[in-house]
Structure formats: C-alpha cells, structure tokens
C-alpha cells in the first residue's frame, strides 16, 4: 500500500484525533487487563481476602500493650506434651527424643546399653557354669532376669547422675535414667527380688544384696538428716571407719534371718551351719580385734570355704560363684558373699 | 460526501499505519508500560478496583462475568484518568510520530 507520509502538511486536527484515539485504545487495553485480573481473583476466591470485614478487624486488631505480644498473648513458653507411640506414656517435648531412643531401641546410646547388658549376662552365665546343670538351668532363667534387673538397679544407684541425688530407683527406670554406667558392671550380686525392709525406711526398694554390694564399694554411712547411705568411695573423708563399721554391723544383723527363709530349695544343711558360723566368727573377730587385717579374716574364711569356691581376694570373691551359692540364690550368696563381703566390708584400710 | 468518505478512509489508513509503526518498533509496548506505571502511581488503579468491588457485590460473586465488568468499568476508567497522564502520553506519541516522519 501507499506509505502514508507524515508531512507537516497533515492537518493538525486529524493528527490530534488520531493521537487521541490511539491514547484511548491504550487506556482501554489497560482497563481490560485490570478487569481480567479482578474477575480471576473473584473466581479463585482471592478477591475479598485483602480487606476483611470489620468483625475480623476487631477480633485481630493489633495489640500494643507492654508485656504482651502483638496478638495479645503473654510470651511464656508453652509446654507441649507428647504421647510415646510405643509405651503410651505422656512426656515433655524436650525429653521426647531421648526417651524414644531408649524406648524404641534405635540410636547409639540404646544399642550401647543393650550390648553391655548382653555382655554382662553372658559373663554371668559363664561364671555360673559348673555344678548341677538341671538346677542351674532352673535357677539361671529366673536369676538372669533378676540379675539383669539387679545390675540396672545397681547402675542406677551409683550412676553419676544419681550420685548427686543419692536416690535409688527400682527396676527398668534405673537403667533408663542412668546415662553413663559407673564401674558397677563387674558387680556380681544375685537376683534382685525387691525385699521391703520395714526397719530402714530409706532402703525400701533395695534388697539386702544390693546394700551389701554397695557397702563393698561405697562408704555407706547412713546420714542422719537424709537417712540415706553415703555413696562416696570407701575412703570417704566425711565419715570415719568407725561409722562405716557401725553401718555394716547394723545391716548384717538385719540380714541374719533371711538366709533361713530363703534356703527352701537347696541342700544347705551343712552349708548353712558353716556359713553362719563363719560369719559369726568373722564378726567376733572384728569386734575383738577392731582392726581389719585381711590375713586374719581370710584364714577365717579359708576354713569355712572348703565347700565353697576358692577365695581369690576379698573384693573379687563374688566373681567366682559356687554352685551352692547360686542355687541357694539369695541366702547362700548372701552368706558366702557375706563372708568375703564382711571381710571386704570392714576392709577400710587395705 | 465523497470527501468525507475519502477522509474516513484516509484516517483509517493513517491509523493503521501508525499502529503498524508503533508495533514494529516496539513503541506501543513501551507506551503501554509507561501508561500502566503512571496510572498506578496516581491511584487510578485502586479507585477502579474499588468500583469493581461494588459491582461484584451488587451482581454477586458467583454471577460476575468479564463482560459485565468491562462494560461497566471502561467508561469509568476513561473518565478517571488524570490529565497529566493523558498529556504525557500524547507527548510521547507526538514525539514518536515526529521521529517517524523525519526518517
């Protein structure tokens, strides 16, 4: 087509009209764009979102008071409670993750605990072998579990965390709450059927064996105000040897009746006499001499230990368990360990 | 009579040519962008949106159509454009045309 020439001869009004119409076209296009946008927001439901009605304005208006946040809430930390999916317990949110680790058995810590438990179990089994197999089997099943419980309880009692508190917990909770196990794994005390001793209020959840085990490694002096045993080492400077001896006397006297009660299943006729006698002897010896010579007590024990396991050392006596000791469960072990334990119990100055 | 028709034809031709030139050079898009910016700045867009809101509320959100909106909004939109925006736009167009004619 012919190129229109925009020479200045073009009439101005025509030009003006053309330009106006062009401008109108542009404006109309922009308007159309806006209409499309509005229509789309209407159909997608976003049209009235930007400016809410006055009711919501009132409900959610800005709060500007001191001590309170913008929504009018006080800025305290809310404690969220969670329910464990496996054990159905209510837990604080901050404790949820560590609890799950132990509860479900996943994570480094729980596998470590489990493997240590297995290791200590197998060690105990190996020590107990050598004797009447049928008897051993019967008892081993029960005692294993109780030993495991015992182990946990002991660990729970002497773990660094519980050392500060000085509390002794029962059963599984002890294992759960003791993050690091003290050097108690070598402790070999027999099953842990909790015996409630009415006499001493602070040992409600501990068995006699537990206490003896404790007395072997810890000071054990019962504090007057808290009625709890001192869990520091055997050479704890707070308590004197005399105090420790008193405590052990006190506890051992309590334990006397139990051997008779427990010795139901086993042939301990001679054994019984011997061990009580040896115990009496050892105690008499202690009372008279008022010293704790390892030699004297060991000679004492050697006479009585004819039918028992050989006495290695006072501390490690529990490591070697005789059949009788194990079979008679609490009683014999208590008595035999009493002998060795009594020597080591009083063995402060070695 | 014939002149009128001729002039109309000429007008149409001229406009077509102008449009063509604008599109080819991309000036049309630039003009449109400029116009949009200016209209937002002066608040024309918000005014018009408020008008739209009224229309939507009157017609009902479910039954609103694009045609309805366009038919109602366009005349209002034309009227609400401020003069300075119009002048600026016209200036730009004139400049463009002057450039074109001189080339």
Q: At what angle do helices A12-44 and B2-25 cross, to 10 degrees?
A: 60
Q: Furthest-apart CA pair in chain B: how many Å? A: 54
Which residues on chain A are in Cβ contact (under 8 Å) with B101?
5-8
Which residues on chain A are in Cβ contact (under 8 Å) with B8?
none
Which of B19, B31, B101 is nearest residue A6 as measured by Cβ atoms?
B101
Quick one: pLDDT at residue A73?
78
CB A210, CB A166: distance < 8 Å: no
Give the C-alpha distances (Å, rounded to integers) separating A243 from A59, A193, A220, A232, A235. Answer: 71, 28, 9, 14, 12
**CA angle A238-A239-A241, nearest 5°?**
145
CA B46 to chain CA centroid, Å, is 17
Residue A133 pLDDT greater than 60, yes or no? no
Which residues on chain A are in Cβ contact (under 8 Å) with B48?
31, 34
Q: Residue A263 — very low, low, confident or very high, per pLDDT cuts 50/70/90?
A: very low
Distance separating alpha carbons of residues A163 and B53, to the nearest angstrom:
73
Distance separating alpha carbons of residues A53 and A130, to the nearest angstrom:
87
Q: Residue A160 — very low, low, confident or very high, per pLDDT cuts 50/70/90?
A: low
Quick one: pLDDT at residue B35?
95
Q: Residue A145 — very low, low, confident or very high, per pLDDT cuts 50/70/90?
A: low
Distance separating alpha carbons of residues B80 and A275, to the nearest angstrom:
113
Token pair 């008779």 is found at A260
Give the C-alpha distances (Å, rounded to integers) separating B4 from A63, B7, B9, B10. Answer: 70, 5, 9, 10
Quick one: pLDDT at residue A285?
53
Check B93 against A19: CB less than 8 A apart: yes
Distance separating alpha carbons of residues A202 and A222, to the nearest angstrom:
9
Rounded mean pLDDT of chain B?
Answer: 91
Q: Is A222 helix (H, G, I), strand (E, B) or coil?
A: strand
CB neighbours of residue B31 within 10 Å: 18
Which of A9, A30, A46 to mutate to test binding with chain B, by most B CBs within 10 Å of its CB?
A: A30
Residue B29 pLDDT greater than 90, yes or no? yes
Which of A1, A21, A28 is nearest residue B74 as measured by Cβ atoms?
A28
Residue of B nearest to A42 (CA): B61
Q: Please, which residues bridge with residue A229 across strands?
A: A222
Distance separating alpha carbons of residues A218 and A328, to the nearest angstrom:
26
Q: Span A51-57, mean pLDDT?
A: 73
Q: Which of A58-72, A166-180, A276-290, B29-43 has the lowest mean pLDDT?
A: A166-180
Which residues on chain B are in Cβ contact (under 8 Å) with A22?
15, 18-19, 22, 93
The token pair that represents A40 in the structure block = 């789309």
* Tens digits of residue pLDDT in A165-200: 444 444 444 444 444 444 444 444 444 444 444 444
The token pair that represents B93 in the structure block = 């167009």
CB A117, CB A184: distance < 8 Å: no
Q: Span A267-288, mean pLDDT?
A: 53
CB proximity B70 to A under 8 Å: yes
CB neighbours of residue B17 within 10 Å: 18
Distance separating alpha carbons of residues A149 and A172, to the nearest angstrom:
7
* Tens digits of residue pLDDT in A315-324: 444 444 444 4
Quick one: pLDDT at residue A147?
52
Quick one: pLDDT at residue A163?
52
Residue B55 neighbours by CB under 8 Å, 6+ apart: B64, B68, B69, B72, B73
Residue B19 neighbours by CB under 8 Å, 6+ apart: A22, B28
Alpha helix locations (H) across A45-65? 54-59
CB A110, CB A102: distance < 8 Å: yes
φ/ψ of residue A82, rounded to 5: -120, 155
The token pair that represents A179 in the structure block = 């993050």
Q: Residue A301 — very low, low, confident or very high, per pLDDT cuts 50/70/90?
A: very low
Please give the DSSP secondary-structure letter assigned to residue A7. Answer: -
Which helix (H) or strand (E) is A256 found in, with range?
A: none
Which residues on chain A are in Cβ contact (under 8 Å) with B22?
22
Q: Which of A131-135, A346-350, B76-80 has the lowest mean pLDDT?
A: A131-135
The token pair that represents A344 in the structure block = 């080591």
Quick one: pLDDT at residue A348?
60
Q: Is A196 helix (H, G, I), strand (E, B) or coil?
A: coil
* Tens digits of residue pLDDT in A205-254: 566 777 778 778 888 888 888 888 888 888 888 888 888 888 888 877 76
Which position has the higher pLDDT, A237 or B84? B84
* Tens digits of residue pLDDT in A90-101: 888 888 888 888
CB proximity B48 to A under 8 Å: yes
Token pair 């042939």 is found at A267
Q: Residue B42 — very low, low, confident or very high, per pLDDT cuts 50/70/90?
A: very high
């Amino acid at each position: 087509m012919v190129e229109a020439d925009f020479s200045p001869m073009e009439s101005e009004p025509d030009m003006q009209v053309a330009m106006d119409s062009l401008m109108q076209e542009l404006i109309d296009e922009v308007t159309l764009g806006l209409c499309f946008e509005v229509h789309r927001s209407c159909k997608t439901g976003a049209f009235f979102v930007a400016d809410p009605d006055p009711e919501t304005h009132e409900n959610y208006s800005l709060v500007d008071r001191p001590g309170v946040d913008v929504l009018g809430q006080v800025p305290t930390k809310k404690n969220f409670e969670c329910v464990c999916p496996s054990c159905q317990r209510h837990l604080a949110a901050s404790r949820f993750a560590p609890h799950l680790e132990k509860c479900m058995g996943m994570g480094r810590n729980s596998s470590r605990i489990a493997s240590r438990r297995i290791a200590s179990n197998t060690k105990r089994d190996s020590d107990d072998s050598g004797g009447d197999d049928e008897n051993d089997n019967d008892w081993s099943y029960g005692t294993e579990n109780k030993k495991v419980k015992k182990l946990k309880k002991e660990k729970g009692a002497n773990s660094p965390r519980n050392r500060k508190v000085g509390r002794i917990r029962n059963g599984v909770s002890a294992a759960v709450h003791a993050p690091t196990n003290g050097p108690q794994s070598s402790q070999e005390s027999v099953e842990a059927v909790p015996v409630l001793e009415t006499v001493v209020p602070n040992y409600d959840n501990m068995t006699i064996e537990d206490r003896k085990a404790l007395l072997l490694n810890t000071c054990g002096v019962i504090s007057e105000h808290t009625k709890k045993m001192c869990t520091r080492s055997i050479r704890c400077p707070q308590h004197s040897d005399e105090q420790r001896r008193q405590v052990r006397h006190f506890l051992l006297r309590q334990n006397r009746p139990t051997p008779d009660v427990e010795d139901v299943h086993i042939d301990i006729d001679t054994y019984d006499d011997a061990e009580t006698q040896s115990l009496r002897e050892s105690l008499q010896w202690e009372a008279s001499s008022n010293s704790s010579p390892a030699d004297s007590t060991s000679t004492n024990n050697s006479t009585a230990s004819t039918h028992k396991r050989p006495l290695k050392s006072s501390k490690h006596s529990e490591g070697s368990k005789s059949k009788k000791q194990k079979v008679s469960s609490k009683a014999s072990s208590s008595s035999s360990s009493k002998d060795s334990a009594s020597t080591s119990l009083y063995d402060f100055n070695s | 009579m014939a002149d009128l028709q001729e002039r109309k034809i000429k007008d149409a031709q001229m406009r077509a040519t102008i449009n063509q030139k604008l599109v080819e050079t991309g000036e049309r898009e630039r003009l449109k962008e400029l116009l949009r910016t200016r209209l937002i700045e002066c608040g024309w867009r918000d005014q018009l949106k408020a008008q739209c809101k009224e229309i939507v509320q009157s017609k009902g959100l479910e039954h609103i159509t694009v045609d309805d909106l366009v038919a109602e909004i366009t005349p209002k939109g034309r009227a609400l454009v401020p003069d300075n925006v119009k002048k600026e736009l016209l200036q730009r167009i004139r400049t463009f045309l002057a450039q074109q004619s001189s080339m």
